[in-house]
Copies of this chain bind each other. A is one copy, B any other.
């Protein structure tokens, strides 16, 4: 089952709000449904949001809406999650074909989907080669946060896709996923994916990650990204920054793995990235049960920003940028995507 796909004239997604208890496909027929699905994180992950953005525009164009109406809807879709650049990127790619008619818009959305499948294979290979150089002589342990596997993309993921590639190559010792509060994408989604692929793992609470790094629990930290600024500063799930500090302290590589479409050269640095605040409800209750006293105020940043000086390398489908060796996104050339 693909995480997001175009099936019989509509978008279908694996509903990530009910995993791991249920594996349910949700069919999305309208823009309202899609915006809701994005905001409640039924579909999430930078690559999947890129596909959702493009398919959302295609669906609107195919519905018979006029060009102005499609543009208005596209703006709404674009704004559904402000930090993730891929959503806007996917919307814009589809919009560029609007003058050519709905069929062309759909073709572009399907291309975005197919390119993601290929990009994730390429990232897995680049990432595995990079980490083989870090740990040349034994099996590797990787720490990660949030979910960056197939559930964050179409078929295979970004950072977790690298772990999957290494597992397929036979030299993955263990993954240490952080549970990822408040919505537990690590506990619910990453643990589920690791079980599906038969990879060994031990789940930990978020704040244990930095300490366990200091005790040698992982050879490297691998994370995805929601937006990578021109200077390499990276917005990703909250918790990434603290892992980066701890990786530096422990002397292990901290590696960002994301498709080229996550690199946003129009954002100069992390200071220019808007951080989505998702409100109190996610923190003060769990399901129907209160976890904090009534009236508790919160600050709930969905993302944090890791400064480029704490990042060892940025690995995309088309290049490896060694920030720790002084390389920069603006100068390292793109290579063709790898498929082996």
Which residues does A use to contact B, with CB under 8 Å? 20-21, 145, 176, 178-182, 184, 187-188, 191-192, 195, 201-212, 214, 217, 238-239, 241-242, 245-246, 249, 283-284, 286-287, 289-293, 295-301, 304-305
A sample of 24 inter-chain contacts (CB < 8 A) reads A20-B292, A179-B292, A180-B207, A182-B205, A191-B292, A191-B296, A195-B295, A202-B297, A203-B283, A203-B296, A203-B298, A204-B299, A205-B283, A207-B304, A208-B304, A211-B241, A211-B242, A211-B304, A211-B305, A212-B301, A214-B241, A242-B242, A245-B249, A287-B287
- The reply to whether A298 and B214 contact each other, CB–CB distance below 8 Å, is no
Instruction: List chain B residues, Cβ under 8 A from A21.
Output: 290
- The reply to whether A204 and B283 contact each other, CB–CB distance below 8 Å, is yes
11 new A-B contacts at CB < 8 Å, known A207-B304, A210-B245: A179-B283, A184-B292, A187-B283, A187-B292, A188-B291, A203-B296, A203-B299, A207-B239, A208-B300, A208-B301, A242-B245
10 smallest A-B Cβ distances: which pairs? Answer: A207-B239, A211-B304, A210-B242, A206-B207, A181-B205, A187-B292, A20-B293, A211-B241, A245-B245, A242-B242
- Beyond A242-B242, A292-B203, A293-B191, is A208–B299 a contact (Cβ under 8 Å)? yes
A292 to B191, CA, bound (A): 7
Selected from B176, B207, B305, the residue in CB contact (under 8 A) with A181 is B207
Closest Cβ neighbor of A181 among chain B residues? B205
CB distance from A17 to the nearest CB of B (A): 13
- The reply to whether B205 and A238 contact each other, CB–CB distance below 8 Å, is yes
A210 to B145, CA, bound (A): 15
CB distance from A149 to the nearest CB of B (A): 13
Q: Which of A176, A181, A284, A286 has the most CB of B within 10 A?
A: A181
- The reply to whether A202 and B292 contact each other, CB–CB distance below 8 Å, is no
A51 to B51, CA, bound (A): 59
Closest Cβ neighbor of A289 among chain B residues? B287
A210 to B240, CA, bound (A): 10
Instruction: List chain B residues, Cβ under 8 A from A179.
Output: 181, 283, 291-292
